[in-house]
Every structure is written in C-alpha cells, then in structure tokens.
Structure 1
Amino acid sequence: MAKTCARYQIPVPGRGYWAKFEAGQSATKTPLSKIDNPTLETVHIGAYKPPVKPYVAFAIEAAASTVAVLRSANPHQYGEVSVPGVRVHKSSVSRLISVLHHLALALDQRDIMLSHGEKGIKTAIGPDDVRLEISEARNREKQVPTPAERKRQEEHERRREIAQRRGQWLYPESFWLEYDYIYSGKLSLADGARKRWNDGKHQSLEATLEPMADGILFHLAFEKARREEREAEERRRRHLANRRELHKKRQEREANRLSFLRWLAEQKEAADLRTTIAKASEFLPEASSEYLGMTAWAEQRLAHLEAQNELDVLTSNLREQNLFPDPDDLHDPEGDPAPPKSPWSY
C-alpha cells in the first residue's frame, strides 16, 4: 500500500500520527496535492487493469525510463537531483514527471519518440535525434551560519589553539558551507543550441508544451536536412574519388599501350635472323656440326618470334594485359575529372 501511495503521489501519515490519533490528540493531515498527470488520477488495487488509451500508454512507456531514474536518484548536497539530461531540486521532481508525461503525449502526436539513456533525454524521428536538457534556475548566496554553527566553529578553533601550544596539530574544519544554492522552482527545457523554453512570470512550462513539441519537430527536420546534405556530400566525394581513380588507371593503361605498340614496332630481331639464316644456308654443305646447331637454334628462335606476331597470339596478349577491353571498364561518361585543388591555390 505504501508503494502504491508513493507511485501515485499520495501523502501518507507521518511518524507518530497514529499514536497521537489513538491518544485523542489532534494530528495534522497532509492534503492531496494537485496532479496534472491523467494516468495518476485513478488508483486500482489488485489485478484489475483498466483499458488504457493508446496515446496514454505511449506516454507511460516513453517517460517511464526517465521517471524511474528520477525516482531512484539520491539528492546531492543542496537537495539537487542530477541525472543525465536533468538537474532540478528534489521538490520539483513530481512536477517534472508530470511535464514529461504530457510532453510525451504531445511528441507522440507528431510521431516523435521520447526515450532516456546514458546520454540523457532523447527525442527522435528515425535516425535523427535531438537531446533535451531540463534544469531548474538557482541562485548562489553567501551562507550565513547559525549561532549553533558559529559556536561549534569557535569551539574547534579553541581546541586548535590548545593543540598548537602543546606542539600538536589539529586540522581546520568548517561547520557550514560557504555558499548556499537557492532553487527557484522555475524549470527550463532546451533542445541543444536551437531553442529554450522557460517558466515565466505569466506562463508556465506546462502551457508551452505544444509550441515546445513543434519546436522539437522543427529541430528534428533541420537535423534531417543536415544529415541528408552530409550524406549527399559524402556520395559526391566518393563519386569524385572513384572518377579520379579511374582516371589514374586510364593513364597507366595508356602508358602500357604505348609500350606494347613500341615492342611490336621495334621487332628487328626477326628480320636480322632471316638475313643471317639465309646467308648461313650457303655454307651448309661444308659446315661443321656446331655451325649446323647454331643455324637450327636461329630457325627455332625465328619461329618463336614470328609466332608472337600471329593474330591469335597478339589477341591473347592484349587480353591478358587488358589493354583494349570491350566494353571499357575504365570509361568515365563524364570525362576526365578536374585535378584536386592544391592547398596553396587561391
């Protein structure tokens, strides 16, 4: 029952209430606080689960993670509750939970997802997201110590003086904080560096939930446009890099083509061998075995060179070196790309 009351923000009797009640003494009852969250207006005990409207169910699910973190967070030294994306005083947590529920409803109507993680509160449509920061305005004031704190401080200083006279050392201590933080109760919500909504003199944060949701939607649209532009720029960069790589390979292929054609044009060895073999045949009747071996080797060499110039062999060599492919795998329909700009050019 106590957990149910805490979950639905229902105050419970304080310590000593029932003892005073049984003794016939007057006991103060804490009135119910105003609840803006529609999901907390009705309490059901037991296994009964009332039908929940889809948009309310979404709000519960979307804000549940943030609510759970807020409820489990331990307040800091000044009563501040600080979790990723949120920094408010503990007295503002209940109100903030209500704001988050209603904000989730407004965002759901715009197809915006609300979630909470290690990096804070996130709103998202698809791959685009915007982080939310919720904070409470505070003022730093010089703290004025109470008489009791001053008395403890003076007593400690007196003990330090006595310790020093005895040749001992006693560390200094401070019995009150130098500054105190006064929380105003005014909440502020910011979606990154784009927009900020605040509690004002005549308008609360709850009254700006619809404009807030519209602003977040606009910010998400801006982030989507910026992402698409980055993706388009990356596609252009990769396309240009591919064209420049093709251009480089075409230049290398042109050099290989020229080398191959020069090799064909400069084949004088075959002509020289034919002349040599023709003259050597005149001396075959009285030639020695060594001379005949040389002539035979020259004829074999000539046959090999002539075979290299045959159509099927030339075609095979051209294909092996990929000098004139059809279709051309290095063709660029846009022509040669412009060379990259030098960092020193103006």
Structure 2
Amino acid sequence: MDIRCQDLYEAVWAKPVRTLAKEWGLSDVGLAKACRKHGIPLPPLGHWSKIAVGRGMKPPQLKGNSESMITIQGTPSLKKAKLSAEGKTKLKPALATIFPEQTTLMSKLAKWTQKTDKALHRKPDSSGFVSSWKETFRVSVSEAQVSRAIGLLDKIEKALTEGGMAWDFDKKGQYVVGRMYGETVSFELKELYKRTEHIEKHPTSSWLDRKTYTYQFLGDLTFRIDGYYEGRKSWSDGKTQRIEEKLPEIIEGLLAAAESMRQRTLEREEQYKRWEEEARIRAEKERIEREEKAFFDATLKEAQDWNQANLIRDYATHLRSLILDNKIELTEAGEQWLSRIENAARKHDPAFRRLSL
C-alpha cells in the first residue's frame, strides 16, 4: 500500500500500531520500522493506557517530509466498508449508469477519461509501459490493455459523477482525483507484470556490472484506492471473475472510501480538540502550581525576614534592659547606635511593610 507520510503520522497517533497493522494486513514490526525510517515519531509505551484516562501526550513534531509517499508491503484489508443511508442513496444512481438496460449508453467518453485516453494513445516506453501524465487518471498498463483500461475508467467516472463526486486534478500529484465530503479520493489502475533481472558482467570489476530488466505483462488489471481508511482498497482480475464484473463493488468502494475518509477526518479533529483541552487543563494546573509555589516561597521569605527582625529587636531590648538595670549613661554616639539597631529591626520587619504601618 502507498500512503502519504502525513497520513501515516496521523494514523499512528489515532490508533495503536498493532491495530493499524491488523487492518492493513501488515506486521506491526514492519509498520513501526517504516515509521522510523521516514521520521515519523511513535507513541511511547503506555500512551494508549493514558489516553483511556485522559492523560495522553500531544504528538511530537513530524521529522519526515509530510508530502512524501511511503510504500508499505502487505495485503490490503478485504473488509467491506459500510455505506451510510446517504451513501446508499448516492450509490443507486451511480450503479444505474454501468448497466445499459437501465440507462442510456453514451458513446462519448467522460471528460477526464477522454483526456486520459489521449494521453495513453502514444508509444510505450522502453519497458513496454503506457502511462498517463498530468491532468489525467493514474494509469500504467501495456499497449494491449489501453482500450480495456479506458472502458473501465469511463464507467467509473460517469458512475461516480452521477453519485455526486466532483473531479479535479491534484496540484501536487498532477493526477485527477475525486472530491467528496471535502475529502480527496485518489486511485490507480495498472496492469500486473513480472520483472526479470539481467546482469551483464563487467570483465574486471563486479561493482561495474550492468543491470537491466525485462517485463512480462500478465494481462490482469488491478484497481487500488489510495489513502488510510478502514475498508477494502483494491480489486483485481481473478481466475473466475474479471474486474469489469466487480465494477459495482468498486463504485461502492469509492463512495465508501470518501465517507470513511470524512469520518477519519472528523475523528482526527475531535482527537485534536481533546488534546488541546488536555493541554489547556495541564497548562492551567501548572500555572496554579507555579503561583502557589511562588506564594509559598514569598511567604517563607517574609517569615524568615520576620525572624531576623525579631532577633535584632530582641537584642536591642536586651541592651536597653542592661542599660536600665546597671544605670548606664549612654553617650550620644551610643544612643545613636542603639537607635539605629531598633530602626533596622523595624525597617526589615515584613509585618510593618505588609500592614503598611
């Protein structure tokens, strides 16, 4: 499966890696390895337990390129996504377009299929592939399968248009994608093949060996929907059923994909709101703790100053008592010195400052 780095990053912070791996037909070790390879941070041990009690951490920043595509080997989920009542309403007119007995069969190709057809009617590349370019559907087949691919795309485009899907080309990928419920539905149609490697040995240095490849096209087509969501993502020619016979499933799968992606977006937005609320609560708690600590430290400092002022005051009182008991007559300098001690005690007594006395 192919998935955008940003989508994989959001996926592993929305569900445990083990759960995602099971849904996508992958090993959790392989999925985690792909994340680390592309700079995607993973939730730490115990994260999901904390999430359950509202204490999950906010996802750290993505280090990898958010727009890069990541290919992960595995078997896509064959679980059929369920359509909502609205989706079923849209499915009915969509399916009607692929059955000639139920609707008028139009010979003219649909807009984007027509552009794709024009792009595919050219000379194959050196490996035998005929591929479409920008502002077309994403297709990669042999010359022998071009007409068949166009027929499939024409039915898919017309059916989904009838079902309420709009079409546009993605400015980054340059391929035509579907737009529905504010989501982008991207897909690819390609022919399966076998690749054989040939090595031309260099006479002296093995690192200069020349590798070439030949491709054997199998005549079998496969249709795959991109992106992360729960539900079936691919359909292929089988031994007993060709992909044309699976068109109703593909149409339903594309509509279900748009719904699932929308649901995922809503869940992600809700998760972000929870994270923001948790962060706000943590920040408020930390602010209160800082204020309480600052108040405690300031009060403790005042108490310590009060103790010191009392110590000086007690010393001055003791001196006055000695002078009185021993009938000592202080000199002017002595009186000034003693008064200065008493004034210092008063000046440094925080109680006087606190009460503005």
Q: TM-score by structure 1 length?
A: 0.49
Q: Which has the higher contact order (CA 8 A, sep 6+)?
A: 2
Q: TM-score by structure 2 length?
A: 0.47
Q: State the structure with more CA Rg.
A: 1
